[in-house]
Structure 1
Amino acid sequence: AKSVFFKQSDVPEVTELTWLLTTLTPMPMLENCHSYKDKLNKGLKPNHGLFSYPVLMASDILIYDSNIVPVGKDQKQHVEVTRDIAGKFNQTYGETFVIPEPRIRDEVAAVPGTDGQKMSKSYDNTIEIFGDEKPLRKKVLRLVMDSRPPEEPKPDADKNIAIQLLKLFATQEVAKETENKLREGGLGYGDLKKTLFEHYWEYFAEARAKRAELENNLDYVSQVLRKSAEKARALATTVLDRAKNNCGLS
């Protein structure tokens, strides 16, 4: 299957549907969103964009009649908010939106960042896919570990950040073998982080090469984005018109 790859800003119907959905979205629902409360707890000053972001996400899902939404564990609540908003709209104005279901793969339900929190640009703890080798290697080698010596067994090896990340990039056999070595003692953290970087760098090698190729063919990229946006807008317009018609705005 192929994805329709486009810029959200090329589909203005999303913004219009967002406004429509806000008229039915209770404030307490948004106040209880984990991501909003988490950012407030970290000292981020609240604004309307942050507060109403889950409604924009709901619009982005509902406007394409999405039935399955692949998300991480931390994003499940956003799909639940989307379901609640869509359900309330359908109950108020008749069947309008498809009620989506979240799909969470256990092995990537939560990806840890360099500081042990979930990986997020907001927390400045990401390991970039397309960065340069030297700074990325340095970032991986700076992963903070505890002070236990290599020879000491580590029964909590599965909780180690490097092990958790390695499971995303290495084969199951390599990841399990490395985890067992760390658990039994004899594997130093420095060697563990070097192993992680090697598998990380190799895992995204093909993607980096493809990106470099596309950077030298931006006309093709623009063409793909334009055609994909046309396809996305065709569906988005249909869903938006359905919503406006059902609530008496057209």
Structure 2
Amino acid sequence: MKKETFLAFVALFLLTLTSVVYALEETTKTVTIAEQKADITGDRELDTILLKGVPYQDETDYLKQIFLEVSASNGTAYTIPLESGAKASFQLVDMNDDGVKDLFSSVQTGGSGGIVLSYLHSLKDNVLVDLPVPDPVEIDSHFLNGYQAEIKIKQTGKTYRFLLKDRKSYYKKLGLYYKGKLNEPTELMVNSYHSLKPITLKDGKLGLKGVQRVAGIANADTIAYVESTWAYLNGKWKLDNVKVLEKDQ
């Protein structure tokens, strides 16, 4: 191959590659989910908060990228990446009680589990700090003979038992029980947070309320919900209260 012909081929290849990259960039669409203006740095000036997402081309109800963009009043820009998911939202709440509102954002992961991922960020004095959110309540769980189930909350030591005879035929059909006895030891499905939201606690301060689903052999086989409330004290989350609710309540 002559030198001139080779160079022309290389130039054509690079041009084609550039066109493909440009075309891909053109099809990447960023959508704004929510926008709000508020002082979240403490300088008494308005900052702009944008919640954005990038959907899949063939699945517009799911976002492959989700992130917060903050344009502070002093000209500084911040990008806070979140996990991908089906839906996202944010609230402005002074969760750490420092006099400046924080960013509390949530992402619904989608699917039958109904799991929500939550994030808490502070931008006081234009310093981005990733604050923790409380871990889900630790729960030991298992089925019992006689079409029953039991859970134990590790933090409180309390045990709760559930009668499941209304699911007798369903469990027998799946081979979980035989003549009322378990075929083998089986744990329940204890999910992470189904929801986690800011609430006002009894002392008037802000806290968080989480809800976890406890299911039998599938997420649709809901047995109970565990509600937990949390107070933020000295930079750490303290469990305030736990309530267990049966599905039909």
Larger relative contact order (C-alpha < 8 A, sep ≥ 6)?
Answer: 1
- Bigger Rg, structure 1 or 2: 2
Task: Tell me which protein shows more helix as a share of its residues.
Answer: 1
Indicate whether the TM-score tops 0.5: no
TM range (shorter): under 0.3
Instruction: Provide TM-score, normalisation by structure 1.
Output: 0.25
Structure number with higher strand proportion: 2
